[in-house]
Amino acid sequence: MIETRGLSKTFTSGAEAVRGVDLSVSAGEIVGFLGPNGAGKTTTMRMLTTLLTPTSGTATVAGRDLLRDPAGVRRRIGYVAQNSTLNPVNPLAEELELQVMLYGFRRAEARARIARVMASLELTGLESSAAMTLSGGQKRRFDLAFGLIHDPALLFLDEPTTGLDPQSRANLWKHVRTLRDQGLTVFLTTHYLDEADALCDRVIIIDRGAVVAEGAPAELKTGGRTLDEVFLDLTGRSLREDVPA
Amino acid sequence: MIRDTWLLFRHDTRITLRNKVGILFSAAQPLFFLVLFGPIFATFGTWETLVPGLIIQLGLLSAGLAGFGIVFDWRSGVLERLRVTPASRLALLLGRVLNNAFTLVLQTVMLVAAAYALGLRAPFGGVLVAMLLVVVLGASLAALSYAAALTLHEQLFAPVMTTAVVPLMLLSGTFLPMSMAPAWLDAISHASPFRYVLDAMRDLFGGVYLSSAVGVGVAVVVVFAVVSLTVGARVFNRENA
């Protein structure tokens, strides 16, 4: 579902955010993409979702060449950004209708999809609400609805549970597991290693723009270490700052 | 792309029409000038000279400051979300600028209607042709405004744009024709595309359709539209825009 070879991104500032990353994600997997602040997680995800153009390397995403057919990639992926992307004041069903119609669906089909996705994410009844009136958990589920409304083959989740309370987090995990059971491929970044441990079939750890480890959580937790300990052993304990774009 | 542009235009227009107070407020300044300055101006000039100037002022204050909307969408992440849909970047721009042009037409109709009540006697045909210029001018100004909003630092956009509006307005001859200005000021004003559009609109409001001013005004609007939309499309296509 995702194949990259030597994927790199150097910003105009000269900062090398991603350095020759090779990734391989199979259909139906939930893969966690982990790393400290500034490791290159979000930059990689933004390249894979066509928001940034790689400086070098090749990639196939959801069966489409990232550089030659970015519109084809966009048609087949869903993306839930790190920060909420909801219009704070407009009725969310109206925003969802625009979103789904931009994928080529007609209005009747769009409305049926909205009803279906909202029911599956426990959002029914909030159609005419604006994001500014919702709780953090509801907002995040709406973000998920925007990423899923067109039935993508591959879903990108960038730190989906950051800032949520434990109940909302557990609820979102439940929904992600349901998506996996339905056969959707999920590529997610998170700072919560318990989340990666609980949700992901496989994790890839990136540091300073390069992949430093990958495998199933159980395979990485050698010598009785927790995933947190494995992560710190691989990436060190010094504090990190984000790489400026 | 046409379908995406239409969907985005319809969506943005629905939001605009819901915010009727917003439409009225961004037209408030030219309306104040019309009501509070117009009767004074009419003692030595004509309504057909003043009203086109106020329409240019309206365009600069309404479509020219449209970039504020994209700053809002950029901040809330809406723009990023739309950029991951299959909609072309050009459609994302055109849907917006057409909505801004539509809003400007609504505001212009309000202004012209009020002006007729106060004494404007422009021929309907002239007003209609001038409206076409306003549509193209509104879309062009909005495209430039979006390009500026996505290029300038977010905190710089507001002071730069609100400051730029005043000289652009005065140099176009909004309140008094530039033919009345001293030579040096008249010469500078030739650098402003709005001067030519305004001269054309004044002729049209005066019932003169086939003048050189109208021809030049139409040509300037077309060139201005091509340049503005090209700049806007380039900025929208840029990564991180």
Say what the ipTM of the complex is. 0.84
* Cα dihedral sign, B224-B185-B108-B49: negative
* Residue B240 distance to chain A (closest CA, Å): 7
Distance CA A31, CA A202 (A): 5
Contact A103/B85, CB-based, under 8 Å?
yes
Distance CA A35, CA A50 (A): 21
Output the pLDDT for position B155.
Answer: 82
Residue B241 has pLDDT above 60, yes or no: no
* Cα dihedral sign, B77-B85-A142-A158: negative
Chain A residues lying within 8 Å of B7, measured CB to CB = 98, 101-102
Residue type for position A207: D
* Domain-wise residue ranges, chain B: 2-239
The pTM of the full predicted model, rounded to 2 decimals, is: 0.84
Output the pLDDT for position B64.
Answer: 82
Output the pLDDT for position A238.
Answer: 67
Which of A209, A235, A242, A212 lies closest to A19, judged by CA? A209
How far separated are the first and last CA of chain B, in Å rounded? 19
Classify residue B176 by its DSSP letter.
Answer: S
Q: Which residue is closest to A54 within chain B, CA to CA?
A: B239
Count of beta carbons in the 10 Å neighbourhood of residue A56: 13
Residue A119 has pLDDT above 80, yes or no: yes
Assign residue A196 the CATH number of its domain: 3.40.50.300
Output the pLDDT for position A137.
Answer: 84
pLDDT average, residue stretch B110-120: 93
Q: Which residue is closest to A50 within chain B, CA to CA?
A: B84
Radius of gyration, alpha carbons of chain A: 18
Q: Does A103 reach chain B within 8 Å, measured CB to CB? A: yes
User: Per residue in A56-66, pLDDT tens?
Assistant: 999 999 999 99
Give the CA distances from residue A153 to residues A28, A62, A116, in Å, rounded to whole numbers and listed in that order: 9, 7, 17
Q: Which two tokens stand for residue A167?
A: 């109940």
Instruction: Identify the residue among A42, A84, A87, A162 best suited for mutation to test binding to B, counting B beta carbons within 10 A and taking the highest.
Output: A87
User: Per residue in B40-78, pLDDT tens?
Assistant: 988 988 899 999 999 998 888 888 888 888 888 888 889
Give the pLDDT band of residue B8 (cuts 50, 70, 90).
Answer: very high
Count of beta carbons in the 10 Å neighbourhood of residue B23: 17
Output the pLDDT for position A109.
Answer: 94
Which of A227, A149, A130, A181 lies closest to B18, judged by CA? A130
* Segments forming the whole domain that contains residue A11: 2-81+136-242
* Residue A86 distance to chain B (closest CA, Å): 6
Distance CA A159, CA A39 (A): 14
Work out the angle between the directed axes of helices B67-76 and B154-172 (0-180°, nearest 10).
170
Comparing CB atoms, the residue among B8, B84, B86 nearest residue A51 is B84
Contact A103/B86, CB-based, under 8 Å?
yes
Classify residue B3 by its DSSP letter.
Answer: H
Q: Does B46 reach chain A within 8 Å, measured CB to CB? A: no
Residue A164 has pLDDT above 80, yes or no: no
Residue A78 has pLDDT above 70, yes or no: yes
pLDDT average, residue stretch B161-177: 85
Output the pLDDT for position B50.
Answer: 92
pLDDT average, residue stretch B26-46: 89
Distance CA B91, CA A104 (A): 14
Exposure string of B70-107, with b = 16+ CB inside 10 Å and e = fewer, is: bbebbebbbbbbbbbbbbbbbbbbbbbbbbbbbbbebb
Output the pLDDT for position A242.
Answer: 59
Assess contact for A176 and A155: CB atoms under 8 A.
Answer: no
Residue A172's φ and ψ, nearest 5 degrees, are -65, -40
Residues near A94 by Cβ (< 8 Å), separated by ≥ 6?
A: B11, B14
Give the pLDDT band of residue A96 (cuts 50, 70, 90).
Answer: very high
Give the pLDDT band of residue A121 (cuts 50, 70, 90).
Answer: confident
Residues 82-101 in B contacting A (C-alpha not used; CB under 8 Å): 82-88
Residue type for position B193: P
Q: Which residue is closest to A80 within chain B, CA to CA?
A: B81
Distance CA B69, CA B67 (A): 5
In a domain, A191, yes or no: yes
Kindly write down the DSSP assignment for every residue of chain A, as one continuous string. Answer: -EEEEEEEEE-TTS-EEEEEEEEEE-TT-EEEEE-STTSSHHHHHHHHTTSS--SEEEEEETTEETTT-HHHHHHHEEEE-SS----SSS-HHHHHHHHHHTTT--HHHHHHHHHHHHHHTT-TT-TT--GGGS-HHHHHHHHHHHHHTT--SEEEEESTTTT--HHHHHHHHHHHHHHHHTT-EEEEE-S-HHHHHHH-SEEEEEETTEEEEEE-HHHH-GGG--HHHHHHHHH-SS---PPP-
Contact A71/B86, CB-based, under 8 Å?
yes
Residue A244 has pLDDT above 60, yes or no: no
Token pair 């559009």 is at which residue?
B197
Residue A98 has pLDDT above 80, yes or no: yes
Output the pLDDT for position A240.
Answer: 65
In a domain, A6, yes or no: yes
Query: Taking CA B76 as the corner, what is the angle to CA B70 and CA B82, rounded to the nearest 5 degrees?
Result: 70
Q: Does A86 reach chain B within 8 Å, measured CB to CB? A: yes
Comparing CB atoms, the residue among A49, A51, A87 nearest residue B76 is A87
Work out the angle between the directed axes of helices B193-205 and B154-172 (0-180°, nearest 10).
50
Radius of gyration, alpha carbons of chain B: 18
Comparing CB atoms, the residue among A86, A88, A98 nearest residue B7 is A98
Q: Which residue is closest to B11 within chain A, CA to CA?
A: A98
Residue A151, burial from CB neighbour count under 10 angstroms (0-12, 13-18, 19+)? middle
Distance CA A147, CA A141 (A): 10
Give the CA distances from residue A202 to residues A76, A144, A157, in Å, rounded to whole numbers and listed in that order: 22, 21, 15
Output the pLDDT for position A245.
Answer: 55
In a domain, A90, yes or no: no
Do the strands A2-10 and A56-61 form a parallel or antiparallel pair, or are they unpaired? Answer: antiparallel
